[in-house]
Amino acid sequence: MKYPICPKCKSANVGIILWGYPMVKLDYKEQFDKDLTSGKIYLGGCCVTDNDPKWACNNCCNKWGRRND
């Protein structure tokens, strides 16, 4: 997956936001936890709307984009 550059601070240190309840198989749990800790993945929450952002910047906390399911 290609991660975009933050439009606010121009950082490449960006993570994708996952919305809803994450279902992670045990085979992938270690990698999921690693990605969560490193900021490659953000948990957006279980309440999903039509206006949820897709990306989050680890440097300036900017959230942007539009999630696509």
At residue 61, does pLDDT exceed 70? yes
Residue 7 falls within a domain, yes or no? no
Contacts of 3 (CB under 8 A, 6+ apart): 12, 14, 15, 16, 40, 55
Residue 19 falls within a domain, yes or no? yes
At residue 1, does pLDDT exceed 80? no
Element (H, E) at 17: strand 14-19
Residue 28 falls within a domain, yes or no? yes
Residue 69 falls within a domain, yes or no? no
Give the model's pLDDT for residue 69.
Answer: 63
Contact assessment for residue 28 and residue 41, using Cβ atoms and an 8 Å cutoff: no
Provide the residue range defining the domain that includes 49.
14-64
Residue 9 falls within a domain, yes or no? no
Residue 46 falls within a domain, yes or no? yes
Number of domains in the chain: 1
pLDDT digits (tens, 9 = 90+) for 4-59: 999 999 999 999 999 998 888 889 999 999 999 999 999 999 999 999 999 999 99
